[in-house]
A and B are shown apart, each in its own frame.
Chain A
């Protein structure tokens, strides 16, 4: 196991190098020149050059790349070019905000989708199954933007069930007051595809020989479903859930923009618009590392869920 772990960690290095190179060259080719924005209304060539000097953009490309590599390994991405705020402070402030919304969405999505998936798979082919699948197809066909715009107007303004927007410094106020509407709307979008996917996992498992054998041995349908089928269906379900984990940190920028939630998703959009490279590269690199770590954890989880799996 430890050899496997070491090998996987070793393999992360070239992946990370690829991410660093990709982000670096994408920014340098398409990222725009932040100096032109920082220089203000009337910016002479000399002034732009002076700002580029201050930002280190006039250094040779390999020097800039080396600085980037050092930043990745020291976890110090310096300050934002547009606001002068430490990038680490931005991430530490904004990521928990995104998590406040997205973690609840992730959890509720998992609970609702798995429960309903098992339920409809249990009744597969019935009117309930077909109705639920039909609703899911319809729900998936509508864009998040429409849910958000209509939801804010109807549930926030017209029915006054939730505040139209807002965010506070207090976690409990956010969880109880400001987060529920964004969470509800995100669930409208996320539950439908998850439910369809999980149902297919469960249905596939129910048709396997071991399920038939269990039934033949007299096991109740409940036991077959919850003890045998669900345990095996859990492997792809857990994979799917775990793969969504890195995305929780960056949130949903649409929801964060519309509901004025100061999360990392909104921050990324602002950073891109302002060509704020330190923020962009920090978030991208952290996200890449997180994704690799989650992948590794998922593989370990496979082994725990299904001891037959061999980690090579």
Chain B
């Protein structure tokens, strides 16, 4: 009897401390969704395209994650607890939760494989290994971690030495990982939440070698079941997954979508057994597939269809009556036009050069771009920052950002940009020829933007040439500084202003700071904001940086994109996240309603 009581108590105690058990997913439920462009491969260190990242985020787990519903984006524990921060932001210690296992794989030879701190050390080194198909994510750690750059340098033309210990990356014990930085960087925890830092097991990577992208093995809620490359990806629930219950983050200023929170309440995730993803590259095809129920969710609806279903930014009666769930979310990104500040014509910091750029900025009709070209699916960008990130101030206004060709003409007249030869076009001061070339990609669907630019340039009497080239050449020209005027876009790697302000930081002139803007005051402020945690004083410094950019006009702000996402009424728990990842494991499906909806 005593034994029975003891056993019963033991079971009770175990059930209280053990993680929520796996296999809660209903294998009879399938979520049908889509990608608008093809994926490349499922190895987080090797591929940087967005759609591979979406799949990776469901198969692999990073040490930390973003709370699903909290806005602004808030870090929460995932594989590890939130880190202990030491040395004023130079050292971070992560405690990994014991008892988390990778999905089963032949590489583990029939044994359960637990995640350890050594896996984190290995994963980070793989991210910077130049042999990992050029290491597209190395910028997250390169130049930051003590001893890491020397290892990268040593790996040129020979295999990376994963076993040589370095000061910056250490497994202090089986479950404790420490990262030591050269300079304070409070964004490191955000980096440890990026899908690219999804933890991999060394034996799996070594077992599959060059084919690692086809054999993703992680600790996440899903596993790859089948992959018809660039057409269809099927994920199934990972039976080793520990299960997850959503508990909303708390804290000052955090807002939670209560409707979705109620849908998640008390449930253990994942609920859906299979995620069926199709690559559908034409907007009409994905729209019709959603309409007839072939798709359960339609993330990132095309601008035209977004306007069709919600001309006033709310679902119209017909679609409302279908019970669709509708989300209109600002993305953490920005699009802009940029000048090459090293260019002899449009670059430079002399007054007449600033005047030329300001005049061009006055000729750009941002409101028209937003309302006509973008169908109002965006916000008029006012600073280099994007919504949904630390440091973004929705009330900040770019005082010089207005459409006024007359002001532009007045400025140009004042600084000697006159039509010397009376051919209808202005010349540079001193009557030297003036022609600006706008570089753009042949693949981009940007004819409307080009026409708007031409119209603006015509209004201030400046000749604009449009030069089209393939995307890779455009990238090379932008990053190599062999352009005058071009378009740019940036989406968050982590939700902090520093991730955006780095694009204008003088020492980054080149592949990061493509406009090659150099300003001592801006750089000084950047050094400060890069080394401090969020605060009101930091926000003020960010505003000051935005004013400097507005004054010198290396960029003409375009828009912060808003995306429309829809889901059928049988899908619950759906909420697009600013990190742009799908978070499928929080979704659930009412299978009976799904059957009824798709059989109509």
Q: Could you list which residues of chain A lie within 8 angstroms of chain B, going by C-beta atoms?
A: 30-45, 47-48, 50-51, 54, 79, 82-85, 90, 93, 149, 152-153, 156-157, 160, 163-167, 169, 257-260, 262, 266-267, 270, 273, 275
B292/A164 in contact, CB under 8 A:
yes
Smallest CB separation, B185 vs chain A (Å): 16
From B40, which residue of chain A is reached at the shortest CB distance? A83
B471/A164 in contact, CB under 8 A:
no
Which B residues touch A83, using CB under 8 A? 40-41, 213, 229-230
Q: In the bound complex, how far is the Cα of B294 from the Cα of A157, in angstroms?
A: 11
Which A residues touch B137, using CB under 8 A? 40
* Neighbour of A54 across the interface among B134, B280, B285, CB < 8 A: B134
B294/A32 in contact, CB under 8 A:
no
B281/A257 in contact, CB under 8 A:
yes
Q: In the bound complex, how far is the Cα of B475 from the Cα of A41, in angstroms?
A: 10
Chain B 225-246 residues near chain A, CB threshold 8 A: 228-232
Chain B 469-498 residues near chain A, CB threshold 8 A: 469-473, 475-476, 479-480, 493
Q: Is B284 an interface residue (CB 8 A)?
A: yes
Which B residues touch A167, using CB under 8 A? 228, 231-232
Given contacts A54-B134, A167-B231, A257-B282, contact A44 B289 (CB under 8 A): no
B130/A37 in contact, CB under 8 A:
no
Given contacts A36-B476, A50-B156, A270-B230, contact A84 B133 (CB under 8 A): yes
Given contacts A41-B136, A54-B134, A267-B230, contact A163 B510 (CB under 8 A): no
Which A residues touch B472, using CB under 8 A? 32-37, 275
Smallest CB separation, B149 vs chain A (Å): 12
Q: In the bound complex, how far is the Cα of B284 from the Cα of A153, in angstroms?
A: 8
Smallest CB separation, B312 vs chain A (Å): 25
A165/B285 in contact, CB under 8 A:
yes
Q: Could you list which residues of chain B lie within 8 angstroms of chain A, going by C-beta atoms?
A: 38, 40-41, 46, 48, 130, 133-139, 156, 210-211, 213, 228-232, 278-282, 284-285, 288-289, 291-292, 294, 443, 469-473, 475-476, 479-480, 493, 510-512
A169/B228 in contact, CB under 8 A:
yes
Q: Which of B40, B210, B470 is packed against the most chain A CB atoms within 10 Å?
A: B470
* Neighbour of B471 across the interface among A37, A44, A153, A258, CB < 8 A: A37
B475/A36 in contact, CB under 8 A:
yes
A163/B475 in contact, CB under 8 A:
no
From A93, which residue of chain B is reached at the shortest CB distance? B229
Which B residues touch A153, using CB under 8 A? 284, 288
Which B residues touch A90, using CB under 8 A? 229
Given contacts A44-B511, A83-B41, A258-B285, contact A266 B230 (CB under 8 A): yes
Q: In the bound complex, how far is the Cα of B479 from the Cα of A270, in angstroms?
A: 23
A38/B133 in contact, CB under 8 A:
yes
Given contacts A50-B134, A82-B40, contact A164 B289 (CB under 8 A): yes
* Neighbour of A165 across the interface among B138, B289, B470, B480, CB < 8 A: B289
Q: In the bound complex, how far is the Cα of B133 from the Cα of A113, in angstroms?
A: 51
Instruction: List 26 A-B residue pairs with CB atoms under 8 Å apart, sorted by A's residue number.
Output: A31-B470, A32-B471, A32-B472, A35-B472, A40-B138, A41-B48, A43-B475, A43-B479, A47-B135, A50-B130, A83-B213, A84-B211, A84-B213, A85-B229, A149-B284, A152-B285, A153-B284, A156-B288, A156-B292, A166-B278, A258-B282, A259-B285, A260-B279, A260-B285, A262-B231, A273-B471
Which A residues touch B289, using CB under 8 A? 164-165
Which B residues touch A93, using CB under 8 A? 229
Q: In the bound complex, how far is the Cα of B37 from the Cα of A273, in angstroms?
A: 12
From B473, which residue of chain A is reached at the shortest CB distance? A32
Q: Which of B213, B229, B232 is packed against the most chain A CB atoms within 10 Å?
A: B229
Smallest CB separation, A80 vs chain B (Å): 9
From B480, which residue of chain A is reached at the shortest CB distance? A45
**Beyond the given A36-B476, A50-B134, could you list 17 further A-B residue pairs with CB under 8 A, ordered by the A residue number?**
A36-B473, A40-B138, A45-B479, A45-B510, A45-B511, A50-B156, A82-B40, A84-B133, A85-B229, A156-B292, A157-B291, A165-B288, A166-B294, A167-B231, A258-B284, A259-B285, A260-B278
Q: In the bound complex, how far is the Cα of B479 from the Cα of A39, in angstroms?
A: 12
A275/B475 in contact, CB under 8 A:
no
B511/A43 in contact, CB under 8 A:
yes
A164/B288 in contact, CB under 8 A:
yes
Which B residues touch A259, using CB under 8 A? 285
Q: In the bound complex, how far is the Cα of B417 from the Cα of A159, in angstroms?
A: 62
Which B residues touch A262, using CB under 8 A? 228-232
Smallest CB separation, A47 vs chain B (Å): 6
A47/B134 in contact, CB under 8 A:
yes
Smallest CB separation, A282 vs chain B (Å): 16
* Neighbour of B136 across the interface among A39, A85, A157, A267, CB < 8 A: A39
From B231, which residue of chain A is reached at the shortest CB distance? A262
From A43, which residue of chain B is reached at the shortest CB distance? B511
Smallest CB separation, A178 vs chain B (Å): 12
A42/B139 in contact, CB under 8 A:
yes
Smallest CB separation, B234 vs chain A (Å): 10
Q: In the bound complex, how far is the Cα of B38 from the Cα of A149, in angstroms?
A: 21
From A254, which residue of chain B is reached at the shortest CB distance? B282
Which B residues touch A266, using CB under 8 A? 230, 281
* Neighbour of B288 across the interface among A152, A267, A273, CB < 8 A: A152
Q: In the bound complex, how far is the Cα of B37 from the Cα of A260, in angstroms?
A: 11
Which A residues touch B279, using CB under 8 A? 260
Which B residues touch A260, using CB under 8 A? 231, 278-281, 285
Smallest CB separation, B225 vs chain A (Å): 12
Q: Which of A32, A42, A152 is packed against the most chain B CB atoms within 10 Å?
A: A42
B134/A42 in contact, CB under 8 A:
no
Q: In the bound complex, how far is the Cα of B47 from the Cα of A39, in angstroms?
A: 9
A165/B156 in contact, CB under 8 A:
no
Smallest CB separation, B136 vs chain A (Å): 3
Which A residues touch B278, using CB under 8 A? 165-166, 260
Which B residues touch A35, using CB under 8 A? 134, 472
Which A residues touch B479, using CB under 8 A? 36, 43, 45
Q: In the bound complex, how far is the Cα of B136 from the Cα of A34, in angstroms?
A: 13
A157/B471 in contact, CB under 8 A:
no
Which A residues touch B475, using CB under 8 A? 36-37, 43
Which A residues touch B511, using CB under 8 A? 42-45
Smallest CB separation, A56 vs chain B (Å): 14
From B43, which residue of chain A is reached at the shortest CB distance? A84
From A89, which residue of chain B is reached at the shortest CB distance? B229
B48/A40 in contact, CB under 8 A:
yes
Q: In the bound complex, how far is the Cα of B138 from the Cα of A262, in angstroms?
A: 32
Q: In the bound complex, how far is the Cα of B156 from the Cα of A37, in angstroms?
A: 20
B288/A38 in contact, CB under 8 A:
no
Given contacts A38-B136, A40-B137, A262-B231, contact A32 B41 (CB under 8 A): no
Kindly list the 9 A-B residue pairs having the minimum CB-CB distance in the complex, ordered from nearest.
A40-B136, A262-B231, A32-B472, A32-B470, A40-B48, A51-B134, A42-B139, A36-B472, A36-B475
Which B residues touch A43, using CB under 8 A? 475, 479, 511
Smallest CB separation, A21 vs chain B (Å): 21
Q: In the bound complex, how far is the Cα of B282 from the Cα of A169, in angstroms?
A: 22
Q: In the bound complex, how far is the Cα of B278 from the Cα of A275, in angstroms?
A: 23
Q: In the bound complex, how far is the Cα of B210 from the Cα of A35, in angstroms?
A: 18
B134/A275 in contact, CB under 8 A:
no
Q: In the bound complex, how far is the Cα of B472 from the Cα of A48, in angstroms?
A: 11
Q: In the bound complex, how far is the Cα of B512 from the Cα of A83, in angstroms?
A: 25
Which A residues touch B48, using CB under 8 A? 40-41
Which A residues touch B156, using CB under 8 A? 50
From A153, which residue of chain B is reached at the shortest CB distance? B288
Q: Which of A33, A36, A82, A267 is packed against the most chain B CB atoms within 10 Å?
A: A36
Which A residues touch B285, using CB under 8 A? 152, 164-165, 258-260
Which B residues touch A44, using CB under 8 A? 510-511
Which A residues touch B139, using CB under 8 A? 40-42
Which B residues touch A41, using CB under 8 A? 48, 136, 139, 493
